[in-house]
Structure formats: C-alpha cells, structure tokens
Amino acid sequence: MHPTQNLPSSELSKLLDSYRKFVETELYPIDLKVVQGPFRSYLPQLNELREKAKNLGLFAPHLDKESGGLGLSLSDFARVSEILGTSPLGHYVCNCQAPDIGNMELLELFGSDWQKETFLHPLQKGKIRSCFAMTEPANAGSNPVILSTTATREGDSYVINGHKWFTTAADGATFTIVMAVTNPEAESPYQRASMILVPLDNPGFSLIRNIPIMGEEGEDYLSHAEVKFENCRVSSDHLIGKEGQGFALAQERLGPGRIHHCMRWIGICERVFDMMCHRAVSRELLPGKPLAEKQSVQNWIAESRAEINASRLMVLNVASRMQELGSKAVKEEISTIKFYVADVLMKVIDRAIQVHGALGVTDDTLLSFWYRHERGARIYDGPDEVHKASLAKSILKKYRPQ
Amino acid sequence: MHPTQNLPSSELSKLLDSYRKFVETELYPIDLKVVQGPFRSYLPQLNELREKAKNLGLFAPHLDKESGGLGLSLSDFARVSEILGTSPLGHYVCNCQAPDIGNMELLELFGSDWQKETFLHPLQKGKIRSCFAMTEPANAGSNPVILSTTATREGDSYVINGHKWFTTAADGATFTIVMAVTNPEAESPYQRASMILVPLDNPGFSLIRNIPIMGEEGEDYLSHAEVKFENCRVSSDHLIGKEGQGFALAQERLGPGRIHHCMRWIGICERVFDMMCHRAVSRELLPGKPLAEKQSVQNWIAESRAEINASRLMVLNVASRMQELGSKAVKEEISTIKFYVADVLMKVIDRAIQVHGALGVTDDTLLSFWYRHERGARIYDGPDEVHKASLAKSILKKYRPQ
Amino acid sequence: MHPTQNLPSSELSKLLDSYRKFVETELYPIDLKVVQGPFRSYLPQLNELREKAKNLGLFAPHLDKESGGLGLSLSDFARVSEILGTSPLGHYVCNCQAPDIGNMELLELFGSDWQKETFLHPLQKGKIRSCFAMTEPANAGSNPVILSTTATREGDSYVINGHKWFTTAADGATFTIVMAVTNPEAESPYQRASMILVPLDNPGFSLIRNIPIMGEEGEDYLSHAEVKFENCRVSSDHLIGKEGQGFALAQERLGPGRIHHCMRWIGICERVFDMMCHRAVSRELLPGKPLAEKQSVQNWIAESRAEINASRLMVLNVASRMQELGSKAVKEEISTIKFYVADVLMKVIDRAIQVHGALGVTDDTLLSFWYRHERGARIYDGPDEVHKASLAKSILKKYRPQ
Amino acid sequence: MHPTQNLPSSELSKLLDSYRKFVETELYPIDLKVVQGPFRSYLPQLNELREKAKNLGLFAPHLDKESGGLGLSLSDFARVSEILGTSPLGHYVCNCQAPDIGNMELLELFGSDWQKETFLHPLQKGKIRSCFAMTEPANAGSNPVILSTTATREGDSYVINGHKWFTTAADGATFTIVMAVTNPEAESPYQRASMILVPLDNPGFSLIRNIPIMGEEGEDYLSHAEVKFENCRVSSDHLIGKEGQGFALAQERLGPGRIHHCMRWIGICERVFDMMCHRAVSRELLPGKPLAEKQSVQNWIAESRAEINASRLMVLNVASRMQELGSKAVKEEISTIKFYVADVLMKVIDRAIQVHGALGVTDDTLLSFWYRHERGARIYDGPDEVHKASLAKSILKKYRPQ
C-alpha cells in the first residue's frame, strides 16, 4: 500500500513542519479538554478540524493519492505519525487513527471490490468509523490462536457467535472486522480463523458496554467495547480474503500497525519530555532555585533523551527495512521495538509525573491521560514478555546445535 | 497518644484475625463497587458497617479506650492498619482514615479543651469528618516552608487568605486545619506558620472544585479539593498550640502519619499480591498451561514477596522504635520507609497489572484504582527525592570532616 | 548445634562491641594487603591473630562451649557474622569461615565418633582446613541432582571417580567432603548421592589447578580448586550418615549456610557503605564542593541504606525463625534472602565504585576485591533465578485450584 | 582527518567481511590467552599479526592513504571499529588502539612539522607507542579544569612538575602528551592548560607503577600507569598548538574518541551476546532442557539485542553527523552515547556472566576480563553522572524563561 519511494528530504522536512504547525496551533490548545470528554460533544469541532487538515493537504497521509491521501512511504508516514502522536487527537483528525488505519490497510490489500466500495471508501474519506474484534475475555490475548468465537457456514451465510472485548472504538462505528473460527478442523491452529466484516446494525451484534478503563468509560472513538455476537448472520461476501487466512491477514495488519503505535508513542514521549523540561525550569523550590538544578531531574531528562532517541532510530530503521524487504524480513525487529518503545514510553511518562509533583497526578495536564491509557501499551498487540520470548527464540534458533 | 505497651502476642493475633475476617467478609465483596462511586450513595451502607465494626470491637483502633477506641500501641495499630489497608474502605469504616486520624492525633496532643469538645470528640465518634489544608498550588510542596497563605491577627481574630489544593476529603467535611503564615518576620522559616481550625461553613472558605485526579473527581471522602480562604475570619481560640508552632506540630503529625501510610500500602501490596497469584494459577495460555508456569511471572512473584516482607519488617521496626524513643529519634528511618515502601507499592501494582493482561487496565478489578490513586504515594508527604536527600544528608553529617 | 537461647541483649551488645573493636584495630589495617596475597606468606600473621581472638574470647563463636566456642544461638551468631564480614579476614581469623563452618555443622550433626575425633575436632581448633566438593564443570550447578561423580562400593571401600570444581579452599586443606552418586538406581534423584570424607593426601585425589577467578588464581584458603577423583579409594567408615542421604544432609548444611553468607554480605555492604560515605565527604569536585552535595550520590547513599537495613531485618528474622522452627519451616524465606541480599550487595558495591571514580576500579581499595569475588554471590548456593522460581512455585502451590 | 566521503556500501560491506574474517581466524583463537599475559611475551606474535593486517590491507584504517591507512570516513571507521572491538586485540593489531589513535588525530591536526616527523610518523607505522597523561589522583577527573600539574616556562624550555595516573599504556611507550597548567592567571579556567609532548626517556619523568586494576597490574600496552614529572624539562617546541589551548585540543581529541570507545564497546557487546547465546543452547539443566528454554534467559537475550541495536544506531548516527557538522554540533549526542552505551555494555556483560553460571566468574572466558576492565567505561572520559548532567543542562538551556 505504501509506496517504497521516500519524499526528497527537503520536501519531507517542509511537510513535517506543516504538520508540526498544525498540531501546535490547532490541537494542543484543545486536546486536554477533548479527551476529558464527553467526546461526542466535540465531534462537530473535530470534523471542522478534519476539513482544515484536508485544506492544508494533511489529511490521510497514509493513503495513496488516488484515495485522497498523501501517498507517503511507510518511513515518511512514520515521521508524520510521530508528530501527530504528540496530541491524542492528531491521528484522529488526520483520519489515520487506529484501528481504522489497520482496517484500511487490510481492505486495500485483501478486500473485494464490493467491500472496498461499501466499507473502505467511506472509511478513507472519514465518513464512517470501524473497529476490530479479536481479543476475547475468556482467552489469553497473548496466545491469539486460542479463539472461542465461531463463524459457521450456513448456506451462503456465516453465523457468528462469540464474546469479544477491547473492541476499540466500537461505540459509534459502522462496521467491525471480527476474527472467528471457521475451520476448527484445520491442522494448523494458524489456519482455523477467518476475518469477517460485520455491519454493527446487524441485530446479532450487541455492544454490552464501553469497558471502564483506568477510571473512564469513554465514548465514541475514545472507548473500548465489550461486544457480543449472537447468531449474527452475514452473507458470505463479508469474508475478507479466504477462509482460514485470519492469522495470515492479522500478521499483515499488525506489522505496520506496530510501527504506527511505536511512532505515536515516540510522539507522546516528545510532548511529555517537553512538558517535563518546561516544568523543570519554571517550578521553583526556592526563589531562583528551579527543579532544573536538581541532579535527579537532570538524570531523568538525560536518560529520557537517550531512550527516546534510541527508540526513534530503531523504529525508523525498521520502517525503512520493512518498506524495502516486507513484513516477514523484519519480524525480529518488530518485536524489538514493540517492547523497547513501550517501556521507554512508560518510563518517560512516569518521570514527567514525578517532576510535576502533585500537579502530575491531576487531570490538569495530559500526563494523567497518558499514564492511564498507555499502560496498555505494554500489553496490547502482544505483551512485553511475548515479544521478548519470541525475539529470543528466533535468535536462538540460529545457535541451536545441529 | 498511643500507649507504649503492646498487646500480648496471642491477644494481638486474635484481634488481627477478627480484623481479617471483617475486611474479607464485609468489605471485599463491595469495595470495588464503592470506590467506583458515587461515594455518597454508599454512605448509609458504610455507616452500617461502622456500626458493625463498633459492635465487633474493631472501631477506632488508634484511640485510647476512654475515647472509644482499642488503646493499641503504635506497633499493634500498625499491624491492624496493614489489614485494613487491604481494602480501600478499611480505615474509613473503622474511623482511622487519613486525614482524620492525623487531625485526631494532633488535637489530642495540642488541642484546647474547647477544641477537643467541639471538634475532636465528634471526630472520634465518626460523626463528622475533617481535612487538612497545607499544600498550595503556587508553591512546591516538597519545600513546605514556602507558604503564601497568611493568617493575620486582627483584634481577637485571625483573617486567613490563601489558595490551597490537595485538601483531601474537604468535600463533606465539617472543619479543616489550615497551615498559614502568622509570623512572617520570624527568623527561622520554620517558625512562621501556625495551624488554625476553620469550620467549613465559614463564609470566607470556599471549595473551588474536587480536583479531577487520574480520571476521577471523586466526591465526599474520596476526593481532593482545591479551596480558597478569602478574608476568612475565625476567633483566635481556633489557633492550635501557639503561634509559629505550625511546623513543629506538622512534624508530630507526619511521623506516625507516614507509618500509617506505609502499613496501608503494605496492605494494598498484600491484596494485590494475592490477586496476582490467583490470576497466575487460573489464567491459562493453553489448556493446562497457566501463567504460573512462566518464569517472568515467577520472578515477579518472588521479587514482590521479598520486597513486601522487607517493607513490613522495616516499618514495624520503625513503629516499635518510635513508640519507645519518640518521633525525632527515628527521623532517618521514617524517610527510609517513606520512599522504599512507596516504590515497592508501585512495582507490585505494576507487575500485577501485567499478569492480569487486558483485564489489568480495566476498572473491573481494584488494580486500576490503586495504580491511579497510589501513584501519588511517591509524591505526597514528601516526594522520594526529598526523603532520599534528607536521609543521605543526615547520614553524611556524621562523616563530615571536622 | 546452635542453642536456641539468645544472649541477654546487653551481653550481646558488649560482645558485638568487642568484635567490632577487634576487626577495626586488628584486621582493617591489613586486610587489603593480605587479600592481595600471596596468602601463604601471611599465614604466620593470621595464626597470631587467631591466638589473639582466642585470648579475647572471640574464637569460633558458632561452636558450643565444650568445643571451644562461644555457644551462640544462630541469631546471635548472625549478628557477629555481620561484623566479621566487614573484613575479608574476619571469619577466617575467628575460624568460622566457609566452607569449614558448614563442614563443622555437618560433622557435628551427622559425623560418627571416629569422624568427629579425626576430622571435626582439629577443624574446630583451627589446626586444619577442609573443603567441600559438589559442583561439577560438566553439570549445571543449579540443578544439583545431576551429578556425574560416582562412589562405587567395593567390599569395604568406596571407589570415587569424578571431576569437580569450585572446591573452595582445597589448596592447603586436609580433607574434603565429596558429593557422589552411590545409589544410581534409587527412584528419587534426591536419594542417589552420598557425602563421603576424603583426606586430600589420598593418591586418587588430585588438585588440577586453582581456577583463576576474576583475575586471580589465589592460593591456600583464598582459592577455588578444580579437582579430580580417579579411582580414589576410601574405607566405608568415611561415609557421612547413610547412603543416599547426600541431599538431605546438603539441605541441612545449606540452610544456616545461606544465613551465614547473607550476614557476611551485609557486613561487606556496611564496610562498603562506610567507604562510600567517607569518599563522598572528602572528594571535592571544586574546593569546598564535595561529592556529598551531588544528588545522585545522595540517592545512592539513601537507597543503599534502605536496602541494607531491609536485608538485615530479613536475615535476622529468618535466623530467629529457623532457630525456633527448624530449617524446613523457613525454606521460602531462605530463598528470599539469598537472592535479595546478593542483589543488594552487588548494587551497593557498584555504587561505591562509581562514587570512588577511577580509584574505585584500582586495587588500592577493597572495592575491587569484592566487586570481583562477590559477583559469584548471585550464582553460588543457587543462582538468583533458581531461588526466585523455587520461592514462587512454593507460594503458588497454595493457590493452585483444587 | 577523516574524509567526509563514505565508501560505497558494497565496498564497505566487503571490507567489513575481511575484518570479520581476520578477527575470527587470527584473533579469537588467541585473545583470551594474550590478555592473561604476560603481554610482553606475546609481542613477537602480535607484531606478526600486524604484518598480516598490513598485507591484507587492514592496517591503520583510520589513517589517510598517504599515511599508510585506509582513508576511511569516521562513519566507515566506526563500523570497522565495532568488529575490531569484538576482540581485546583488534584495535591494537590494526594500530588504531587508544590512546595512540587519539594522539595520532591530535598530532595530525595540531602538531608541528617537527612533531609530526619525530612522533607522529613512527606512531602511524606502529613502530612506537604513546600515552596521554591527564588524570591526577589528587583531583576529580570529572572536573578536568582542576589540574595541579604545572609547566613553567624557563627560557626556551618548559619545566613540568606533577603527579598523574591512569596514564594508559605508559609502560613501554616512547612519549606521552601531558596536560599541564601553563597559564594559571588566565581568566577562564579552560584557558590555563596546555598539551606538551614528553619523551619518556626524559630523566624528569618516572613511572611509579602500573596500577593494579581489578586484580591485575598488567604490563606494556595492557596497563595503566601512575607517573611523576619532577623538574621534567623539555624545549618549547614540544608544546602542541598554543599555550592555553589544552582544553580546546582535548575536546577535539575526545569527540571522535568517544565514538571510538562506543563502537568498541558495541563490539564487545556483540561478542558477549554471542557467547551468551551459545551458552544458552548448549548448557543443559536436564538432558534436552537447555538454558535457552528459560524465560529469564530469553528476556536477557531479547533486552540485550534491543539495547545493542539501539546503541549501534545511535553511535553511527552521531558519527555521521559529526562527519558532516563537526564535533561541536554533536556535543549533546556525544554525551548521550557515552553514558547510554557504557550502561548497556555493563548490563550485557552481567547477563552473560549469569547465563554462564560458575564458568562466568572464572578467567576461562573473556567475560571476566571485560567485566573487570570495562567497569571503568562508566567512569573514564567522564562518568555517567557528568554526561547526564551536561546533556540535561544543555537541553534545559533552551527552555530557560527569558
């Protein structure tokens, strides 16, 4: 989907400046308020911002030009993504937010013409939203092959039954893609599940609740739903790709997805780092004695700088290699950045809170929002431990005595 | 206040069993719901529980018997406090919750007869609640001598002006104790402030807001207020102790206060540890393959066990030495436990969340509540860095070349 | 072996003062030189010091009075052990050094009269030294049941064959106790090995080399040997206890052994902490600006203080519980202190080196000696990971669903 | 000195392969033995290897072609340096070892013709060795402007008096460059010192001792000397650059020097990582159950992989920016990599030791050598704390309120 050609560096640099200016002037002044919600009440304002982004040529940077996007390479998009990530509204306003961006990538690559027409195109234009139903409360998300949700073929339909949660942004979405077992008898557990499109007005679908997470239910785009499929029937043209391809497609979806997350996290790190530095020079312990003079604060700033720089270099390096060599070739590196950057993110946020003192635990800054909502970063898309084990096993395979 | 005589160990052990049974049967089944609020709607139920605690002889363990308490030594109370801390409702239901317990200790030691009659006695009986207004948004809490709030003597009154926040539980309280500068000209910055009682129905007092903290405003007892004193006039008999004694009294108040906090944190650790172990044995990655078999999980459990044990031994050791030798003699140890236990607390909670996976970031368990509301533990009553520096300086003084 | 009665606290306190004075005046002035060796050249001087210790009533504190010791309880000995541990010579000079102390405990409990007469008594008097041959280069020490060394019964003899290393202090020792498989067919792998006494002048025994460890071969007591048993024949009265009891005895030997190690490590920590503080106040970055003013240094001092205190409280707590309840009852706590204190030890040493700067990596202080020779603390007597896993499994057993 | 033009990537890749082959076949088989010394006994063998390196076109990669080198850019040399760093002999054999490389860079840039002829050219050809005398035992190395060594102008000579240590490789060197105060009255402390060449056969120079470091005195190239200058007189043409330029030159010398160190450390990390992986797959806890299956080991491997990759990307990034923009422009990044990579180095070595168990603390592998001799990495060329503070202050300057 992404072209493999990067922008000339001066052009990219100009584009990044435009994004930086946009987030700083349009989003920073309002993002704290918006994330405190209620989110729906801000939709009109957010839609206006989307129009502005379109007019400025900043909308949908990940899409090719024919689809109304900027046609950026994965590497260039990664750079944009970092800047958008500095505001919790950045990706949303530019219509490249998870989980929609993953669904767009998936449908672009594997959707039928009908699926593209009906689901992908309105999504690309930001007219509708979507979600992705994979994780199940009854099964460990870290072992994705264990799924209880089934989609049984009955004539020309699939009948779906199952219980999912962490279906991000289901509230207000138009459709979901659901991962369900269609071929329980397949030999490999990786070939039993399929991805199926389900419009959310289907009577067999119900949204049980927006799960209260870290103190907030949220709503609309800013929510994570628990949902049920009860004899939920869709015609067979809602299948994406072929039966049994669920995991193969999920891998395709998750590869760039993890780069997107990592670059977004780096954006958060940079904003948080900036807040930490501002606080350090402005908060005084005694008149003329700012926190900045404390060596502990200096240590945190230095360590954070090092770790953020390391994160960016690693993620951009993977992005450029994935762009050149494909997802599979960089499997190890993807695991590496997933756990490394998530860890850096949480450490940087934690240090910034400590520098902010009492203010840091209030909702008067974005620190609390990120401290709470990004704790999941070390869990979703594979917990730290799974990625570490998977990386190590892959490395050790080369050492195994013959 | 606390007697220096410990209970015979078999008696203590029986008492602890009663507390354990009480929290497990009466509080654990409801505490998650109650902290999700609205808190006021649970007041009737909580009052019933207070009656139960009274009937069971578990009410106000920190008070002497004449005041309706159990007359426990500081050490024995510390043991009780750990058990109460395993539920967010424990101390509240037994009327030994912060900040009221600190105010009770203070008024018992330094209140006038009138103050005791009017404020202390109803507080001891659980008829009213109180708060403590010290921290100011404009000044670094870690340097408490910098206070902007003033109390100016005018005739027989004090006129108080100032802006405070993190006045915990002000919402619904009957009075506050406010720390205000009465003697700005005193040579030592430690002798400029005084503590003054202010009934909250005073027209000069206003509660600006319950500060939204880590995603929640809270209400009533479970809240932290931002408050204003504007020409708030009280008669001079509201002064506690003498003018300029503010910090001396605060030190008295904080010494045992930090032991109370630490033992409560250890209680949280134990509950969280228990949840982590339960999760480890019950969550399966594959049929018959629980998380408990994973070495990372085992490492977290072992490290948590070691650190919690270390915490308990250190805090009980300080409690018993403070009981014997007084607050001043254990100043170093108080700093030690403050930063050590707060750090352990956050590490144990973090590991338990990771073991719970997606469930860990939801509000479906108490982990989220504690992860959010105890992040402050590394900040309030002196941030880690202040206690570490203070401990180190005190140690190094003995090494200073003459 | 140890009585269960502690000394009255004033008596203990006086005894500890005597030990403190002894190590400070007699050992501190020479210990750095002695450990730099050659160790043998210092034997006359060390023997004189042993005489001094005897005259001062400080010799063999772990032995009962009839055997020429002080008859201290395990708890009281632990307190002594900490003080002795502050010098690398402390235990040696008082004849309570590993591995001899473990061998004394073992022979006292399980030795035959002949074994006591021949081996134990000279050992107790400090006339000979001994060693313990368990670890094998070919097998993971962390799984002790895998042993390749065999002792085959032939008539009234055992014929021992095997290859061991980390046979501490074999160079110059009079006998070793060797762990060898006598009953390979026993069902439980824990009942296959036995402990057998081998005088080192046996022609079937050879010392291959003193293993160079962390830059030093060492010699005599300060060495770790690689040894071989080749058709090494001893009469069957050299068996300790019964055939197949090897592991049961090893457990007995290791329980108090780990307490001894931990208290010695705490002693090291205290000496190192003291060096760190002295350095902090005396080393100036600018005239009048000592390292002590740096917050990083203060952090290290505070954290070290907390961790050392925690270590001591935990170890003394286990010692007193083991004294009361026996080794088995405190298996979990023994694992806990083993990995916790070893970790603290290495952290404290590392911080002290950093505070000493370039001097810290030279052999001009004891820091280098301990940095190098105590890295093994996280490995010997069970690596961190084994103790953590064992502790966690033991805890989780109680949670296992029925 | 380094050209700014990189090799075409295929050419570089071929060159790196040659270096890799060279170190693997020529150095790995002997390096453990050589570092155990005595070093001088290996000089003939090492000189042969230098000849081999010359014949293979691998000698002096950092020098331009006219000087007999490969004319590599700083970036390309960094890549070579990593490979050489995998053996403790790599840089030495290719004549690009510290401190000589720094002295070559310095003399190339600032030496007079006479100095180049007399000192630089034989050094470039590997005919002589040199050293650098800066650190003083009496003054904190972390604050380099505090120097006690003086060089007083007397007629056409400088008379040098002072006491230095950590004069690496002085034993056997032909000359040193000494940092001494020539202009004590200069206003800025950064303009008081000068660099002066001193042939070591000068009667005013004496080598007091090779400092025993972490268990070893070492000798010849593998040593760190304590030295004295007593009325050491050299003619004024031994001054490098101008009087008072000492620190300015030192900065020039240290910039690339830190990149060299970092890449060497990364080389060590890779060799150590490789050892750790080999050990993990080959050491069995039970037949068929290698350490590689343990999640703790997997965690260490994964974390090490991430951190080494991060290190390399950061260092290569700085190298390429320094090549383009000069030393000053990358001052912050140089500090960043100095403390980040040194920390990674020590962590990776520590993990590898733990994986090796008892073997890890012996001198039977290179782990012990590096564990001991690289502990200094967190101290020399500026301790962690100095670089962190310097980085943080530089960042915070941009935030300072106007």
CB burial of residue C34 (10 Å; 0-12, 13-18, 19+): buried
The answer to whether residue B290 neighbours chain A at the CB level (below 8 Å) is no
How many Å is the maximal CA-CA distance in chain A? 78
The answer to whether residue B287 neighbours chain C at the CB level (below 8 Å) is no
Chain D residues whose CB is inside 8 A of the C372 CB are 214-215, 371-372
Chain C residues whose CB is inside 8 A of the A299 CB are 296
The answer to whether residue B277 neighbours chain C at the CB level (below 8 Å) is yes
Tens-binned pLDDT, residue by residue, of chain D (402 aa): 577 789 999 999 999 999 999 999 999 999 999 999 999 999 999 999 999 999 999 999 999 999 999 999 999 999 999 999 999 999 999 999 999 999 999 999 999 999 999 999 999 999 999 999 999 999 987 777 889 999 999 999 999 999 999 999 999 999 999 999 999 999 999 999 999 999 999 999 999 999 999 999 999 999 999 999 999 999 999 999 999 999 999 887 777 889 999 999 999 999 999 999 999 999 999 889 999 999 999 999 999 999 999 999 999 999 999 999 998 899 999 999 999 999 999 999 999 999 999 999 999 999 999 999 999 999 999 999 999 999 999 999 999 865
In chain A, where the domains are located: 9-97, 130-240, 248-397
What is d(CA A210, CA A167) in angstroms, rounded to the nearest whole number? 9
Strand partners, A219: A222
CB burial of residue B117 (10 Å; 0-12, 13-18, 19+): exposed
Would you call A363 and B296 a contact, using CB atoms and an 8 Å cutoff?
A: no
Phi, psi (deg, nearest 5) at residue D196: -130, 135
- pLDDT given for residue A250 in this prediction: 87
Q: What is the DSSP track for D27-51?
A: IHHHHHHHHHS-GGGGHHHHHHHHH
Chain A residues whose CB is inside 8 A of the D292 CB are 392, 396, 399
**Helix axis angle, A331-356 to A295-325, nearest 10°:** 160
pLDDT in tens, D87-97: 999 999 999 99
The answer to whether residue A285 neighbours chain C at the CB level (below 8 Å) is no
- pLDDT given for residue D402 in this prediction: 57
CATH number, domain B247-397: 1.20.140.10
For the cut 70, the answer to whether the pLDDT of residue A1 exceeds it is no
The answer to whether residue D287 neighbours chain A at the CB level (below 8 Å) is no
DSSP single-letter state for residue D68:
T
3-state secondary structure of C56: coil
Interface of C with B in 305-324 (CB under 8 A): 305-307, 309-311, 313-314, 317
Q: Name the pairing type of β-strands B157-168 and B150-154.
A: antiparallel
Instruction: Pull the structure tokens for residue B366.
Output: 């108490």
Residue in D33, D214, D350, D391 to test binding to C, most C beta-carbons within 10 Å: D214
Which among C358, C371, C383 has the least Cβ separation from residue D166?
A: C358
> Residue C38: how many CB atoms within 10 A of its CB?
12
**Helix axis angle, B295-325 to B246-282, nearest 10°:** 150
Phi, psi (deg, nearest 5) at residue D306: -60, -45
Chain C residues whose CB is inside 8 A of the D146 CB are 285-286
Enumerate neighbours of B (3 or more CB pairs within 8 A). A, C, D
Mean local confidence (pLDDT), C220-236? 98
Strand partners, A286: A289
Residue in B289, B295, B354 to test binding to D, most D beta-carbons within 10 Å: B295
What is d(CA A368, CA A346) in angstroms, rounded to the nearest whole number? 12
Would you call A379 and B364 a contact, using CB atoms and an 8 Å cutoff?
A: no
The answer to whether residue A303 neighbours chain D at the CB level (below 8 Å) is yes
Instruction: Identify the band that residue A327 occupies on the pLDDT scale cut at 50, 70 and 90.
Output: confident
Helix, strand, coil share of chain C (percent; to 5)? 55, 15, 30
What is d(CA A162, CA A179) in angstroms, rounded to the nearest whole number? 10
Helix-then-strand count for chain D, H and E: 14, 11
For the cut 60, the answer to whether the pLDDT of residue A370 exceeds it is yes
Phi, psi (deg, nearest 5) at residue B207: -90, 110
Residues near C319 by Cβ (< 8 Å), separated by ≥ 6?
A: C74, C75, C78, C259, C263
What is d(CA B80, CA B74) in angstroms, rounded to the nearest whole number? 10
Strand partners, A177: A132, A197
Q: Enter the pTM of the model.
A: 0.97
Nearest residue on chain C to D378, judged by CA atoms? C354
Mean local confidence (pLDDT), C303-329? 96
Chain D residues whose CB is inside 8 A of the C166 CB are 358
Interface of A with B in 214-273 (CB under 8 A): 214-216
Q: What is the DSSP track for A30-73?
A: HHHHHHHS-GGGGHHHHHHHHHHHHHTT-S-TTS-GGGTS----
Mean local confidence (pLDDT), C355-379? 97
- pLDDT given for residue C256 in this prediction: 85
> For residue B372, which amino acid is it?
R
Domain spanning C248-397: which superfamily? Butyryl-CoA Dehydrogenase, subunit A, domain 3 (1.20.140.10)
Domain spanning B9-97: which superfamily? Acyl-CoA dehydrogenase/oxidase, N-terminal domain (1.10.540.10)
Contact between D283 and D362 under an 8 Å Cβ cutoff? The reply is: no
Would you call C165 and D358 a contact, using CB atoms and an 8 Å cutoff?
A: yes
Nearest residue on chain C to B343, judged by CA atoms? C303
The answer to whether residue D299 neighbours chain B at the CB level (below 8 Å) is yes
Residues near B388 by Cβ (< 8 Å), separated by ≥ 6?
A: B335, B339, C298, C299, C302, C303
Nearest residue on chain D to C382, judged by CA atoms? D357
Chain A residues whose CB is inside 8 A of the B370 CB are none
Shortest Cα distance from C74 to chain B (angstroms)?
19
Strands (E), B149-263: 150-154, 157-168, 175-181, 193-199, 205-210, 224-235, 239-240
Shortest Cα distance from D110 to chain C (angstroms)?
29
- Residues (pLDDT < 70) of chain B are 1-2, 401-402
How many Å is the maximal CA-CA distance in chain B? 78
Residue in B303, B390, B400 to test binding to C, most C beta-carbons within 10 Å: B303
> For residue D318, which amino acid is it?
V
Contact between D167 and D100 under an 8 Å Cβ cutoff? The reply is: no
**Among the listed residues D267, D260, D400, the one whose alpha carbon sits nearest the alpha carbon of residue D319:** D260
Shortest Cα distance from D355 to chain A (angstroms)?
14
Residues near A396 by Cβ (< 8 Å), separated by ≥ 6?
A: D277, D280, D281, D292, D298, D301
Mean local confidence (pLDDT), A43-71? 96
Residues near C23 by Cβ (< 8 Å), separated by ≥ 6?
A: C83, C84, C86, C87, C90
3-state secondary structure of D7: coil
pLDDT in tens, C127-150: 999 999 999 999 987 777 889 999
Q: Mean pLDDT score of chain C, rounded to an integer?
A: 95
- pLDDT given for residue A402 in this prediction: 57
Instruction: Pull the structure tokens for residue B349.
Output: 């909670």
Alpha helices (H) along B7-99: 9-22, 28-36, 43-55, 74-85, 90-93
> Residue D282: how many CB atoms within 10 A of its CB?
13
Chain B residues whose CB is inside 8 A of the A393 CB are none
Domain spanning B130-240: which superfamily? Butyryl-CoA Dehydrogenase, subunit A, domain 2 (2.40.110.10)
> For residue C280, which amino acid is it?
A
% of chain A with per-residue pLDDT over 70: 99
Nearest residue on chain A to B294, judged by CA atoms? A385
pLDDT in tens, B175-231: 999 999 999 999 999 999 999 999 999 999 999 999 999 999 999 999 999 999 999
User: A130-240 and A248-397 share one CATH topology?
Assistant: no
Contact between D356 and D367 under an 8 Å Cβ cutoff? The reply is: yes
Instruction: Pull the structure tokens for residue D191.
Output: 């303009």
Would you call D140 and C285 a contact, using CB atoms and an 8 Å cutoff?
A: yes
> Residue D299: how many CB atoms within 10 A of its CB?
21
Output the CA torsion D272→D274→D277→D281 (10° steps).
-120
